[in-house]
Structure 1
């Protein structure tokens, strides 16, 4: 049997986040990252979205392990759900593993999992035919690693999130010599981060960003409130440094921040410039405004939500007021820009001042076009697969690859479930794809929210609900109580008496027609009420509310309800 490589993206292509890629080498499957993404606005009520791994369930005995590049949610966020199903080892740098453990321990189904293995840039893991090694990369979190899998057909390299920064601190530096060694050994396929492909101009170095933060702190005499993503360890270090340099103390606000900060400090990846830098919310009351820095963090959009609560007085500890400086250190995605603009407006109404790093400097943890081309030139891959970004971003990265000399037919812009196959004889090509959807997490529910439920939620949010309750005696074929009509989020009832009356008459007629029918059927009755009400309400209002008929049956002789209800079927 000849050797074969197959690369399958389970997420991270034509979308932001949810990085997860399967590399099949003959009968072995290597999982590269296991991330989640936070939902866009149309996924009403959904907490997070993780990859769908039905294909992996069918090939569970072939999975060698999970290999993590860094400790952000887009790389490790889905791990608790994965290890609760697949008992396979997980590999990553020390900090990445510690952050992964925090994630896993917080999940009831996964908290007993403990098959973690710490690796570094000097680690090589021999799996027989394949060897996995790692290389240092620069990102906004320490100990980020790229992954190189040596196969009989050549190396497959996965960069993870990366950029090049000549001013990076030791924990963040890229090992350029190691990149050269990997490229010299021959790379059959490069799977590379594309998130910064649309950036323009020269990006700011982290030293420039650190200086900017310190200048903002030094130039303000009042209280400072900073919004940052909890897992951006580099940004948090810059905030600590600026606070210490301006004789301020820092209050940590955010559900995840305390654990992440303490973990990074324990591993010496985050340093306190002065011992008493951190104070509790209660101790903050003893500080003057010019001594105070409030660090609000959380997941991707949570720092912005925290600022909104502070601006509107909903936060129980902090209220933004006149004289405050609010410093936004997160770079919003396109989906978040409107929300950030509204938040800034709320803050300005309080009399506070707002500054954002993105207004003055172009900051990103992802490589600019020149960085992406530099990585391509280090690796000289035979085939190139851009990942991590929406289609236009992947397409831009593909154009950058062509400029470095990679032929167009050796570049693959993939979508979830695509299978790229290479056997050494036939050029890499797209084979039959597998079905890979999204698995949506809502509370404790994993994958139990589908398109129908989301559709109903969207309708409810836009057009509301319309409920008709009718009591019947099926044996006597008559309606015992006239329909009771209720609506929520549809129309103002008191101002729509005629509409409600006509709807009641229509329901009465539809129910009685079904009662008079010799072949009475509950399903047909409820569907008939829904259809007739739906047509009437749309004609009158041009809206499509969720229509919920509730039909109750009683036996007048027994004077006891028989409990026939249609709530469940009405939403199906």
Structure 2
């Protein structure tokens, strides 16, 4: 049962139930799309797990990116469940958990590796090494009486990967030989027809860029893409440059990876503090920028408009974008490039010249299927079109469409009587995080924010004396983001007349009701304002009552 990660980008969380035991695979977050106004992050809905928490045996993590570990602080602040992951994954998970006040006390972490096997009552959990853009990435195997359930996590195949990033092909073949009931596989790059460049080729490309640019280089990357950070540091060293890290997120991740020897420095003085930036000549400088929560694009915009706390882009700067943005970010990236050129800099992006991704393309996905030989196939992690493309890819390897399941959040796949089928559905929503609020923003609030952002707010304040059934003072109209008041005096005057008439009608009615009064004002104003402006602002009636010290809004 997926609680996230299907028909969307990120928020991976998959529940596997074996008899009376629940195994949770990943616990990730998703960065919001544009329509989620003001929302910081989105996490899975834990309601089903809350109702069945006594059956949960553990959370098993595949790697240390936010789409796999980002929701963990919110989960462990509510539930005391053991968390399993590789050394670097657990170190990054601890950073995330300790950074959230409500989850700081949680300590039930368990470091595992590719050779670990954990026996539970109804399943044995084991792991296998995969290649991704962060070291210590693992796939997960649940061995049950009915067969093995294999979850790939994020993966690609790179035949020239360095030892800490290499896939264990022998182990994958061994898993396939033992019989795989179902393969739950990463679909994030299923549409790409291109052969992905090896990490060695990307490293060479970064080095060439550093060698042939004479000015300052600002590198935009995702904080947790350790492979890319390593390549940038190595290229800076070989081209005679120093690296300045900006942002606490990046520094914490880099220091953690260095402590665990997952990231190595070619020289002790390669990293320079931001306060020493002025002492470096432009041709000696590489600034590594990841931005808040690992998102570098907004940080680049601040640099281009001189609003960044440390750096302003100037003539001669090269902004080198080494992360491949999602489709949802393409417009933002194009605007950002324009802002950089206006500021006098130039832009180069890895994705313009080379096909780079931490996720497997069609050939990789088919190789994973052929190695594991699953009976049933479940594409996950990606929007619907990616899941559908992955289903077609799987069908080409010989898996029948009736054995391929494209799921939605809350869909339950059930294996019974030697057959897997789509069973009932559990209601699963999104939990939105805004500031310190967890799940207190719902669709109604978002709808109001959308209306406020598009048509503004219209406030009518009126004071009444209910005993004397009269209006004490003429309604006062205030508006923000709707119309320019000075140019719309007639509209305001007519609106005040509508409020006066509506309030007096209600006062004259023997069965006076506050709810009816406010609703009548909203309806009267809404119809008039739409007729005059073709806009629908948020209408807020504020009614005050004299002598009784009461106010209704």
The TM-score with structure 1 as length reference comes to 0.96
Aligned pair 1:455/2:452, yes or no?
Answer: no
Contact 2:21 2:57 in 1 (8 A): yes
- Aligned partner of 1:532 in structure 2 is 524
Deviation at 1:255, TM superposition (A): 3.3
Aligned pair 1:378/2:376, yes or no?
Answer: no
| Distance across 2 between alignment mates of 1:458 and 1:165 | 44
- Aligned partner of 1:328 in structure 2 is 321
Deviation at 1:200, TM superposition (A): 1.6
Contact 2:176 2:373 in 1 (8 A): yes
| 1:416-444 per-position Cα deviation (integer Å, ceiling 9, x unaligned) | 00100112x24100001110111111111
- Aligned partner of 2:146 in structure 1 is 153
Aligned pair 1:471/2:459, yes or no?
Answer: no
Deviation at 1:226, TM superposition (A): 0.6
Unaligned runs of 5+ in 2: none
State the SS of the aligned residue for 1:285: helix
| Distance across 2 between alignment mates of 1:326 and 1:503 | 53
- Aligned partner of 1:53 in structure 2 is 46
| 1:186-243 per-position Cα deviation (integer Å, ceiling 9, x unaligned) | 1000000011110122111111111111111101111110100101000000110111
- Aligned partner of 1:558 in structure 2 is none
- Aligned partner of 1:562 in structure 2 is 549
| Distance across 1 between alignment mates of 2:313 and 2:219 | 11
Contact 1:301 1:336 in 2 (8 A): no
Deviation at 1:21, TM superposition (A): 0.2
Contact 1:186 1:380 in 2 (8 A): yes
Contact 1:398 1:413 in 2 (8 A): yes
Aligned pair 1:513/2:505, yes or no?
Answer: yes
- Aligned partner of 2:472 in structure 1 is 480
Deviation at 1:299, TM superposition (A): 5.7
- Aligned partner of 1:162 in structure 2 is 155
> What RMSD over aligned residues (CA atoms) do the two structures have, in Å?
0.9
Aligned residues: 553
Deviation at 1:109, TM superposition (A): 1.1
State the SS of the aligned residue for 2:185: strand
Counterpart selection for 1:17 from 10, 30, 44: 10
Aligned pair 1:74/2:70, yes or no?
Answer: no
Aligned pair 1:117/2:110, yes or no?
Answer: yes
Aligned pair 1:496/2:496, yes or no?
Answer: no
| 1:234-278 per-position Cα deviation (integer Å, ceiling 9, x unaligned) | 000011011111111111112311110100000000111111111
Aligned pair 1:100/2:65, yes or no?
Answer: no
| 1:440-492 per-position Cα deviation (integer Å, ceiling 9, x unaligned) | 11111111111000000000000000011111111111111111111110001
Point out the more displaced range, 11-20 or 300-309.
Answer: 300-309
Contact 1:230 1:299 in 2 (8 A): no
- Aligned partner of 2:427 in structure 1 is 435
| Distance across 1 between alignment mates of 2:291 and 2:81 | 29
| Distance across 1 between alignment mates of 2:193 and 2:292 | 26
Deviation at 1:128, TM superposition (A): 2.7
| Distance across 1 between alignment mates of 2:308 and 2:431 | 32
State the SS of the aligned residue for 1:432: strand
State the SS of the aligned residue for 2:31: coil
State the SS of the aligned residue for 2:425: coil
Contact 1:229 1:299 in 2 (8 A): no
1:248–1:260: structure 2 CA closer, same or farther, 3 Å change rule? same
Contact 1:483 1:507 in 2 (8 A): yes
| Distance across 2 between alignment mates of 1:169 and 1:327 | 24
Point out the more displaced range, 248-257 or 499-508.
Answer: 248-257
| Distance across 1 between alignment mates of 2:329 and 2:139 | 28
The TM-score with structure 2 as length reference comes to 0.99
Deviation at 1:302, TM superposition (A): 2.4
Contact 2:83 2:110 in 1 (8 A): yes
Contact 1:38 1:300 in 2 (8 A): no
Aligned pair 1:201/2:194, yes or no?
Answer: yes
Counterpart selection for 1:309 from 297, 302, 312: 302
| 1:366-400 per-position Cα deviation (integer Å, ceiling 9, x unaligned) | 00000000000000001000000011100111001
Counterpart selection for 1:287 from 273, 280, 291: 280
Deviation at 1:300, TM superposition (A): 6.8
| 1:492-522 per-position Cα deviation (integer Å, ceiling 9, x unaligned) | 1111111111101111111111111111111
| Distance across 2 between alignment mates of 1:553 and 1:227 | 58
| Distance across 1 between alignment mates of 2:512 and 2:247 | 58
